[in-house]
């Protein structure tokens, strides 16, 4: 029962979702939206698991003084400060229950943390892509097989499409590449992927695929 | 609530600015007004209404023949500039609207008013004492440009005061806002909604109990309007099911007073359907695909050998684990940014279980940083049972799979750190990846790791192809998952996928040929074949 | 600590302090100039710390990384708490709690205790004995999305693709004679457009052949599969090339922050 019951639940919820797809009636839609709410709420509880894991791993590192343990102190400091400002209404030394407004969380320290720590690091990490795309392009240049050369050639044509040195033909070719072979390949991938997903989903609903429950 | 305060204050202050600006000459209205009188246009004819098919109800579709004087009709007077769609609303429906507004106000004001009333009260006292520093108020006040925040003119403070008073009055005057009143308003409102269909049925336009209400407009030339109401009772657009609805369409001209109403059409009733006939082709596909899968899985179960062509990426996984063992370095397994329920992530779990089993057998180190807490939970379960299967449950510890953060680039930063500090021999990326794919794969390549990737995000496949040693392209990820799952029944579905692809090819070729024939011979009925594959939204 | 490390660290600290003071002084007239100065300098420091990773792993990057992980985890948790639990769940369960958190009350629905129970079952993972209970909420989540995906992808990635693959081979067809007398190689000419449709059609078929798993890729099948992988690679190259410009502009955005908002060198 311990092992089988979850799969019965998988089957029932999966089957209901297939069923409701063909039933537009309000009653089936109501259950669908209701279950969708459940899903987000369960997700909210799951956050606690994640935070617990983060705290446990960091604490463990500090306690055993593993390599780089000092940085785990920084992780925990960032975590607790941000949580404190996000959940309490601490401002000017007074506490209170936080007021959730339509504009979101407006505790000024919380906003400062977001604007001056999270945003800059996030944007910079993202901008690293500029360097990495360059180094990836360099890696592609050294390609020696036929298919890798095809990739490189197509990439070069599209990259240079606005370059006046090559004349107008390059833009025409680049557009053709984006509109014709690209469309064909995208469609082939989408169909394959779609069928792969559909098959996996069906295997899950029918209880054939059980790897995700830790049982092969 | 602060928002409401701000909006009202802004409004009041703009009015104030208008008062200040009174000395200036009035702006000249340059809009050309057509002073010639417009003759009433010909009416819309043939108005019919019906319930919208294949929906959850609460929607009506209207069709009509445009007025002869439509702007788009060159042979008419071209005076009809738009069509106004009118629905008959019985008096009771207007009462429900009022009840809804009051319930809404009570509901959303009850909680904030406890906090804001004292604040507004104290602000009023301050202003009465001659305070001119707006920034000292316990909420933000938006002043017109050029007015000093710390020294606003007394005139201006008068408007602030007025706005505050009005806001307070709006919040408290009409109704008694208390915990019990919320309930009373709710039950009154819901009872009225309950009786709404009866009210519609009993009071048609001929009864005179009610009025026409505009529910939308259409451009000249239009012949169709979908009145899609809301199914939520609390929404102002709520349209009841199983209620007699009457419509008419007004042909409107440039002069608001001149229009011609069509004949009334009705009664029509909206209702929800129990089967979406526009999706039959999907239902057929579901049945065919399920049968195919079940048949091939049964074949596999009975021990029939199913051939699967070798995939380079799959063989590389085993080699890479051996390499890591030889080098005494760990293996990094990245599940991507997907949720535990994303199919790509589930496929990845199956591959992870194989990797973890090998890792346990070879006694190599495994690192699995995760992005989603539920993914972490599942991955722990998967890895734990793989260690158990490999006969080494003691080697498993909870730190193999850990949570990092649910922020895309913070996760990337941390995984990059792992790659550079622990120098894994092999990095495996399987699952859902977005813009971070290239950052991860390039960092791994620079650190000298062997890299194997697979994702269903088409846009990211190119980056993995360039930066990784082996990439499972699209569907290959699912094939690998079935292949590495270690159970022959899983391969049964691969066979079903192939048959579905073959079916696709057959349909596509048939469609291609019918279109050629249709064009070449002029037999356009052949093109109907395409319609079979159209799905309703 | 090595001597060089001390020198570098003190150099960074001094630069930080100088930037803080200068930035603070330049912002006088605004509210809290020195807090603003500190925050801008700190943001610039973090930006440079992340860039330093391109050279190699170093303590500054580690600092930024660990701070980012902790703060962002808390950020998402806080958001989840307010937006999911407080906004979605609490009004359905209790007026008292809804008023406490200042969210509008709603009609109660005791069905909402079920996700709470499922959520708590998920947390049972933390206990050694009840861990197996956490599979129930998981089963619900996985089953629910598997059902949605099953029909959803069958429709969007299969049935809908069938009809969109039906492209007419003959465009603007007015007979063979007309075709040859108006023959042109222009990009928008009849011939090139028809050729494009043929390439798309054949490309899709060859791409699909590449994804056939249960047949050996030899003979004609092998040729088609090879054409398929060529088309896939051309596509990957094209979309790689297409992304390059967008990525460069991200870098420009960060450099603008450093040179404009922090150093004030460009206006």
Per DSSP, the residues of A6-20 read HHHHHHHHHHHHHHH
Give the whole-angstrom CA distance, residue B205 versus residue B87.
Answer: 10
Q: Which residue has the higher pLDDT, B46 or C265?
A: B46
E strands present in B294-410: 331-336, 366-370, 401-403
Instruction: Provide the pLDDT confidence category of residue B149 given band limits of 50, 70 and 90.
Output: low
Q: Indicate whether B1 pLDDT > 50.
A: no
Token couple for B231: 């199914």
What is the percent of chain C where pLDDT is above 90? 39
Q: Which chain A residues are within 8 Å of B421, Cβ to Cβ?
A: 67-68
A125 at C interface, C-beta within 8 A: yes
Q: Indicate whether B222 pLDDT > 50.
A: yes
Chains A and C: how many Cβ contacts under 8 Å? 399
Q: Is B402's CB within 8 Å of A215's CB?
A: no
Q: Which chain B residues are within 8 Å of C213, Cβ to Cβ?
A: 308-309, 479, 494, 497-498
Q: Indicate whether B379 pLDDT > 70.
A: yes
- CA dihedral B183→B188→B193→B197, nearest 10 degrees, is 150
CATH architecture of the domain with range B312-486 = 3-Layer(aba) Sandwich (3.40)
pTM: 0.84
For residue B337, the model assigns a pLDDT of 95
CATH architecture of the domain with range B45-93+190-268 = Sandwich (2.60)
Token couple for C211: 């994804």
Give the whole-angstrom CA distance, residue C36 versus residue B528.
Answer: 67
Search chain A and give the residue with CA nearest C211: A192
Q: Which chain C residues are within 8 Å of A204, Cβ to Cβ?
A: 142-143, 146
Of A1, A29, A33, A44, which to mutate for an interface test with C (greatest number of C Cβ within 10 Å)?
Answer: A44
Rounded to a whole number, what is the distance in Å from the CA of B497 to chain C's nearest CA?
A: 8
- Can you state the angle between helices B343-362 and B476-484, rounded to 10 degrees? 40
Tens of pLDDT along A177-196? 988 999 999 999 999 999 99
Rounded to a whole number, what is the distance in Å from the CA of B304 to chain A's nearest CA?
A: 17
Instruction: Provide the pLDDT confidence category of residue B3 given band limits of 50, 70 and 90.
Output: very low
Give the whole-angstrom CA distance, residue B95 versus residue B99.
Answer: 6
Q: What is the pLDDT along chain A (216 residues), one digit of tens a residue?
A: 677 889 999 999 999 999 999 999 999 999 998 899 999 999 999 999 999 999 999 999 999 998 889 999 999 999 999 988 887 765 544 444 545 444 456 677 788 888 899 999 999 999 998 889 888 888 877 767 888 888 888 988 988 888 788 878 888 888 889 889 999 999 999 999 999 999 999 999 999 888 888 654
- CA dihedral B124→B127→B129→B134, nearest 10 degrees, is 130
Q: Which of C73, C167, C213 sits opposite B406 (nearest CB)?
A: C73
Average pLDDT over residues B152-180: 69
Average pLDDT over residues B335-349: 93
Q: Which residue has the higher pLDDT, B140 or A150?
A: A150
* Number of domains chain A contains: 1
Token couple for C116: 């709470």
Q: Which chain C residues are within 8 Å of A50, Cβ to Cβ?
A: 73, 77
For residue B18, the model assigns a pLDDT of 38
For residue B15, the model assigns a pLDDT of 39
Tens of pLDDT along C179-205? 777 777 776 777 888 888 889 999 999
Tens of pLDDT along B489-524? 888 889 999 999 999 999 988 888 888 888 777 777
Instruction: Evaluate whether residue A152 is within a structural domain.
Output: yes
**H-helix or E-strand containing B49?**
strand B45-51
For residue B248, the model assigns a pLDDT of 94
Token couple for B81: 């500039």
Q: Do B324 and B419 meet the contact criterion of CB atoms below 8 Å apart?
A: no
Chains A and B: how many Cβ contacts under 8 Å? 216
Instruction: Evaluate whether residue A169 is within a structural domain.
Output: yes
Search chain B and give the residue with CA nearest C171: B519
Q: Which residue has the tokens 């192939």?
A: B498
Q: Which of C76, C99, C104 sits opposite B108 (nearest CB)?
A: C104
Q: What are phi and psi of B52, to 5 degrees?
A: -75, 135
E strands present in B474-520: none
The chain-wide mean pLDDT, for chain B, equals: 84
Instruction: Provide the pLDDT confidence category of residue B24 given band limits of 50, 70 and 90.
Output: very low
Q: Is A110's CB within 8 Å of C125's CB?
A: no
Q: What is the CA radius of gyration of chain A?
A: 26
Q: Indicate whether B16 pLDDT > 50.
A: no
Q: Can you list the alpha helix ranges (DSSP code H) found in chain A?
A: 4-22, 26-63, 69-87, 108-113, 119-141, 146-159, 169-179, 181-205
Average pLDDT over residues B100-112: 74
Q: Which of B281, B417, B466 sits opposite C62 (nearest CB)?
A: B417
B45-93+190-268 and B312-486, same CATH topology = no
Q: Indicate whether B159 pLDDT > 90.
A: no
Q: Is A191's CB within 8 Å of C158's CB?
A: yes
Please provide the DSSP assignment of B155-222 as one string. HHHHHHHHHHHHHHHHHHSSS--SHHHHHHHHHHHHHHHHTHHHHHHH--GGG-SEEEEEEEEE-TT-
Which structural domain, as residue segments, surrounds residue A149? Answer: 143-208
Q: Indicate whether B314 pLDDT > 70.
A: yes
Average pLDDT over residues B94-115: 76
Q: Do B92 and B77 meet the contact criterion of CB atoms below 8 Å apart?
A: no
A215 at B interface, C-beta within 8 A: yes
Extents of the domains making up chain B? 2-19+96-163, 45-93+190-268, 312-486, 492-533
Average pLDDT over residues B347-366: 92
For residue B308, what are the β-bridge partners?
none
Go through B478-504 and write b for each residue having 16 or more CB atoms within 10 A of its CB, e for each that does not: bbbbbbbbebbbbbbbbbbbbbbbebb
Q: Which residue has the tokens 């201006």?
A: B156
Q: Which of C71, C231, C232 sits opposite A78 (nearest CB)?
A: C71
Query: For chain C, how many residues are written?
Result: 267
For residue B433, the model assigns a pLDDT of 95
Q: Can you list the alpha helix ranges (DSSP code H) found in chain C?
A: 3-26, 33-51, 59-80, 90-93, 95-100, 113-123, 135-153, 160-165, 176-181, 190-210, 219-256
Which residue stretches of chain C have pLDDT < 50? Answer: none
Q: Is B83 helix (H, G, I), strand (E, B) or coil?
A: strand
Query: For chain B, how many residues are written?
Result: 537
Q: Residue A183: which of C167, C244, C156, B453 has the closest Cα? A: C167
Q: Indicate whether B58 pLDDT > 60.
A: yes
């Amino acid at each position: 029962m311990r092992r089988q019951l979850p799969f019965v639940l998988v089957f029932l919820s999966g089957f209901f979702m297939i069923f409701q797809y063909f039933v537009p009636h309000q009653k089936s839609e109501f259950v669908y939206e209701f279950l969708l709410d459940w899903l987000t709420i369960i997700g909210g509880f799951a956050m606690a698991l994640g935070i617990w894991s983060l705290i446990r791993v960091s604490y463990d590192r500090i306690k055993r003084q593993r390599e780089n343990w000092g940085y785990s102190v920084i992780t925990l400091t960032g975590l607790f400060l941000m949580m404190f400002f996000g959940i309490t209404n601490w401002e000017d030394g007074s506490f209170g229950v936080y007021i959730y407004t339509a504009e979101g969380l407006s505790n000024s320290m919380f906003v400062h943390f977001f604007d001056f720590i999270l945003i800059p690091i996030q944007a910079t990490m993202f901008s690293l892509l500029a360097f990495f795309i360059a180094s990836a392009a360099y890696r592609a240049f050294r390609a020696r097989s036929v298919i890798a050369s095809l990739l490189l050639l197509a990439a070069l044509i599209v990259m240079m499409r606005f370059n006046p040195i090559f004349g107008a033909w390059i833009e025409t070719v680049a557009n053709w590449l984006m509109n014709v072979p690209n469309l064909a390949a995208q469609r082939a991938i989408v169909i394959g992927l779609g069928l792969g997903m559909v098959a996996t989903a069906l295997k899950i609903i029918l209880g054939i695929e059980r790897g995700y429950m830790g049982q092969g | 609530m602060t928002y409401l305060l701000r909006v009202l204050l802004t409004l009041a202050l703009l009015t104030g600015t208008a008062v200040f600006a009174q000395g200036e000459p009035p702006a000249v209205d340059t809009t050309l007004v057509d002073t010639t009188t417009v003759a009433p246009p010909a009416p819309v004819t043939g108005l019919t209404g019906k319930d919208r098919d294949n929906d959850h109800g609460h929607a009506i579709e209207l069709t009509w023949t445009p007025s002869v004087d439509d702007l788009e009709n060159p042979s008419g007077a071209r005076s009809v500039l738009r069509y106004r769609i009118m629905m008959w609303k019985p008096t009771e429906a207007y009462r429900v609207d009022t009840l809804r507004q009051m319930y809404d106000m009570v509901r959303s004001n009850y909680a904030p008013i406890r906090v804001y009333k004292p604040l507004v009260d104290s602000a009023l006292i301050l202003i009465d004492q001659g305070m001119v520093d707006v920034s000292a108020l316990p909420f933000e006040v938006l002043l017109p440009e050029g007015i000093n925040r710390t020294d606003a003119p007394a005139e201006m403070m008068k408007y602030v005061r007025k706005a505050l008073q009005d806001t307070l009055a709006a919040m408290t005057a009409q109704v008694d806002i208390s915990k019990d009143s919320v309930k009373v308003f709710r039950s009154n409102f819901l009872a009225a909604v309950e009786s709404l269909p009866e009210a519609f049925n009993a009071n048609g336009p001929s009864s005179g109990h009610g009025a026409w209400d505009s529910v939308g407009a259409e451009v000249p030339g239009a012949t169709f309007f979908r009145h899609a109401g809301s199914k939520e009772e609390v929404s102002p657009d709520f349209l009841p099911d199983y209620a007699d609805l009457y419509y008419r369409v007004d042909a409107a001209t440039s002069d608001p007073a001149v229009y011609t109403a069509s004949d009334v059409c009705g009664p029509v009733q909206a209702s929800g359907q129990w089967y979406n006939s526009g999706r039959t082709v999907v239902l057929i596909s579901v049945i065919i695909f399920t049968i195919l899968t079940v048949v091939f899985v049964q074949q596999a179960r009975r021990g029939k050998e199913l051939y699967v062509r070798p995939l380079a990426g799959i063989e590389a996984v085993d080699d890479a684990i051996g390499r890591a063992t030889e080098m005494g370095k760990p293996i990094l397994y990245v599940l991507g940014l997907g949720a535990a329920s994303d199919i790509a992530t589930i496929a990845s779990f199956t591959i992870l279980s194989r990797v973890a089993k090998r890792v346990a057998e070879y006694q190599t180190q495994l690192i699995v940083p995760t992005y989603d807490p539920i993914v972490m939970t599942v991955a722990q379960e998967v890895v734990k049972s793989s260690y158990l299967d490999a006969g080494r449950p003691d080697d498993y510890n909870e730190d193999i799979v850990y949570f990092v953060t649910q922020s895309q680039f913070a996760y990337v930063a941390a995984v990059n750190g792992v790659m550079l500090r622990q120098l894994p021999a092999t990095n495996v990326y399987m699952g859902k990846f977005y813009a971070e794919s290239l950052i991860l794969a390039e960092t791994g390549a620079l650190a000298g790791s062997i890299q194997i990737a697979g994702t269903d995000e088409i846009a990211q496949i190119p980056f993995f192809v360039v930066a990784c040693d082996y990439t499972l392209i699209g569907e290959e990820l699912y094939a690998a998952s079935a292949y590495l799952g270690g159970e022959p029944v899983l391969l049964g579905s691969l066979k079903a996928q192939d048959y579905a692809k073959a079916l696709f090819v057959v349909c596509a070729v048939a469609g291609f040929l019918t279109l050629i024939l249709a064009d070449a011979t002029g037999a356009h009925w052949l093109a109907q074949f395409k319609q079979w594959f159209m799905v309703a939204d | 600590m090595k001597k060089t490390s001390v020198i570098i660290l003190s150099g960074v600290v001094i630069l930080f302090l100088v930037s803080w003071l200068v930035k603070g002084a330049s912002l006088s007239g605004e509210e809290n100039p020195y807090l603003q100065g500190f925050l801008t300098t700190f943001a610039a420091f973090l930006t440079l710390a992340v860039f330093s990773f391109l050279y190699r792993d170093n303590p500054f990057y580690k600092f930024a990384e660990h701070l980012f992980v902790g703060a962002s985890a808390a950020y998402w948790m806080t958001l989840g708490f307010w937006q999911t639990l407080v906004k979605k769940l609490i009004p359905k369960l209790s007026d008292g709690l809804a008023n406490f958190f200042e969210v509008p009350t709603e009609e109660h629905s005791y069905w909402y205790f079920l996700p709470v129970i499922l959520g708590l079952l998920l947390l049972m993972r933390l206990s050694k004995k009840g861990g197996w209970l956490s599979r129930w909420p998981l089963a619900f989540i996985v089953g629910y999305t598997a059902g949605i995906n099953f029909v959803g992808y069958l429709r969007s990635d299969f049935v809908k693709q069938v009809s969109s693959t039906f492209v007419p081979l003959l465009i603007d067809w007015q007979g063979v004679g007309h075709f040859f007398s108006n023959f042109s190689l222009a990009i928008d000419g009849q011939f090139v457009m028809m050729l494009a449709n043929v390439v798309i059609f054949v490309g899709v078929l060859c791409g699909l052949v590449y994804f056939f798993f249960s047949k050996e890729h030899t003979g004609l099948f092998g040729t088609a599969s090879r054409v398929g992988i060529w088309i896939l690679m051309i596509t990957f190259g094209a979309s790689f090339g297409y992304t390059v410009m967008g990525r460069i502009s991200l870098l420009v955005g960060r450099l603008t922050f450093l040179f404009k908002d922090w150093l004030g060198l460009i206006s």
